Structure 1
Amino acid sequence: MLSKTLKNLWDYREFISSNVAREFQLKYQNSLLGATWSVINPLSMILVYTVIFTNIMKAKLPGIEGHFGYSIYICSGIIFWGFFSELVSKGTNVYLDNASLLKKLKFPRECLPVTVLLTALVNFSIIFSLFSIFLIITGNFPFLLVIQIIPIMIILSVFGLSLGFILGVLNVFFRDVGQLLGVILQFWFWATPIIYPLDILPAPIQNLIQLNPMTIIVGSLQRIFVMNEGVNFSDLLGVSVFSLVLFSLSLYVYRKNANEIADEL
């Protein structure tokens, strides 16, 4: 099964690449700044939160000194959260957005999640490159630890894609799912220690927030970029297992409803 899937993806590689290009063309069509918006949006969010929490609310990170400590803390959370939320959002709308392709063309359906993943990775690469330049200039780039991002990104990709495609199937039959997702992601963002450190919360709330898979993932990334320490991968074991279970569930949900999806579109 896996070898067949990989063969299909290779055979349809030009179809996938053209889909990724089409995504960017549609997103930035008739836009003067084009792909620059993929940088402006997260940078503006980081700037607003940094100004509000650092200068107005005088927020500080326990044990973190230096002028850029809080900015790096926010960036290391927001950049990877943006990648995750894009996977979930695009996965949720992938069947509706590609309805015409699904009805008119015959192609391996596994091309769709790969397209979503590659598009999100391109957007992520742009903003992460700028973040890396900022870290290098300020002398905070974790050269010896940066490779540890790779397994975290794999876990994050599996988690985000699996969740997105489960919701994508549900969104075909219940269109409220797509509308509700934006609200859920807003609450989820604030339920993840991205803007604030977990230590400032009361113990009962800390215990609740630690059940959030994104708390573990973002915390591991902040450990690399903010603390300049290696990741404790045993902390990620539970999230990894959960992501694999979610991935299996997404395959089951899709296969069970594959024949009805095209009819509902």
Structure 2
Amino acid sequence: MAVGLARAIWNYRGFVAGSVKREFQSRYRNSLLGGAWMVLNPLAMIVVYTVIFSQLMKARLPGVDDGLAYSIYLCAGVLTWGFFSEIIGRSQSVFLENANMIKKLSFPRICLPLIVVLNAGVNFAIIFALFLGFLLVTGKLPGPALLGVLPVLAIQVLFSIGLGIILGVLNVFFRDVGQFVGILLQFWFWFTPIVYPLSVLPDAARAVIALNPMTPVIGAYQTIFVYGRWPDWESLWPVTLIACVLCVLGMRLFRKRAGEMVDEL
């Protein structure tokens, strides 16, 4: 199944690449600032959180006295969460948004979630490159531990794809799913230690937050960029397993309901 799927995607690689290029170009067409909005939105969020939590609430990271540490902590969490939420938010509506294309053209439908991931990946790569540039200029760029970002990012993408495909298929048959996902992501953000360290929470709250599969993923990024250390690989095994299970379930659900989706769109 996996080989056939990979072959089908490869045969339509031109369609995928062209779709990614067109969407990237059209997103900021007729906009005065263009692609700058891609950077300004997360930057504004980081500035607000830095002022509120670092200056007003005097939030501090354990074992770090550097004044830039909290801003780096926020960037590591906010930017990578933005990548995750963009994939989930767009995947849940990708089949509905492309209903006309699905009905009129013959192509592997699984290309659509892939296009979503690649588009989000392009946006994330640009923002993340600027973040690394900031760390380089300020002398805060991690050492060899920076390579740890790659496997953590792979786990996050795998988790996002699996969950996104499931939500995308379900949203075709149950349109309330789209509304639910928007609310879910808002709560999920605040139940993930992005703007606050786990150390400030009581033990009972820590136990609940620890059940969040995104907690070790975001924590891994923060460990790399704030402390310059390799992440705790053992803590990432559960979310890796969950990601693999979601991908298998997502592909099975997609293959089983692909024909019915056309009638529902």
TM-score range, shorter chain: over 0.9
Partner-residue secondary structure (3-state), 1:108: coil
Measure how far apart 1:149 and its partner are: 0.8
Partner-residue secondary structure (3-state), 1:145: helix
Match for 1:48: what amino acid?
V
Aligned residue in 2 for 1:192: 192
Aligned residue in 2 for 1:85: 85
Aligned residue in 2 for 1:126: 126
Aligned-pair identity in percent equals 50
Structure 1 length-normalised TM: 0.97
Partner-residue secondary structure (3-state), 2:236: helix
Unaligned residue ranges in structure 2 (runs of 5+): none
Match for 1:156: what amino acid?
Q
Taking the aligned partners of 2:250 and 2:173, their CA distance within structure 1 comes to 15
Aligned residue in 2 for 1:254: 254
Taking the aligned partners of 1:161 and 1:32, their CA distance within structure 2 comes to 33
Structural RMSD (CA): 1.1
Q: Which deviates further from its counterpart, 174-183 or 238-247?
A: 174-183
Partner-residue secondary structure (3-state), 1:89: helix
Cα-to-partner distance string for 1:65-100 (whole Å, 9 max, x where unaligned): 111000000000001000100110111011011111
Aligned residue in 2 for 1:145: 145
Measure how far apart 1:243 and its partner are: 0.6
Unaligned residue ranges in structure 1 (runs of 5+): none
Contact 2:53 2:59 in 1 (8 A): yes
Taking the aligned partners of 1:97 and 1:36, their CA distance within structure 2 comes to 25
Match for 1:52: what amino acid?
I
Measure how far apart 1:179 and its partner are: 1.4
Aligned residue in 2 for 1:15: 15
Cα-to-partner distance string for 1:159-198 (whole Å, 9 max, x where unaligned): 1111111111111111111112111101000000000000
Please list, as runs of the form range in 1=range in 2, the aligned pairs for 1:176-187 lying within 5 A after superposition: 176-187=176-187
Aligned residue in 2 for 1:2: 2
Contact 2:143 2:228 in 1 (8 A): no
Measure how far apart 1:110 and its partner are: 2.3
Q: Say how many residue pairs are matched.
A: 265
- Does 2:157 match 1:157? yes
- Does 2:237 match 1:237? yes
Contact 2:146 2:228 in 1 (8 A): no
Taking the aligned partners of 2:181 and 2:29, their CA distance within structure 1 comes to 25
Measure how far apart 1:231 and its partner are: 1.5
Taking the aligned partners of 2:25 and 2:123, their CA distance within structure 1 comes to 13
Taking the aligned partners of 1:29 and 1:239, their CA distance within structure 2 comes to 38
Measure how far apart 1:121 and its partner are: 0.6
Partner-residue secondary structure (3-state), 1:255: helix
Match for 2:103: what amino acid?
K
Partner-residue secondary structure (3-state), 1:171: helix
Measure how far apart 1:26 and its partner are: 3.7
Taking the aligned partners of 2:262 and 2:27, their CA distance within structure 1 comes to 24
Moved beyond 3 Å, runs of 4+: none
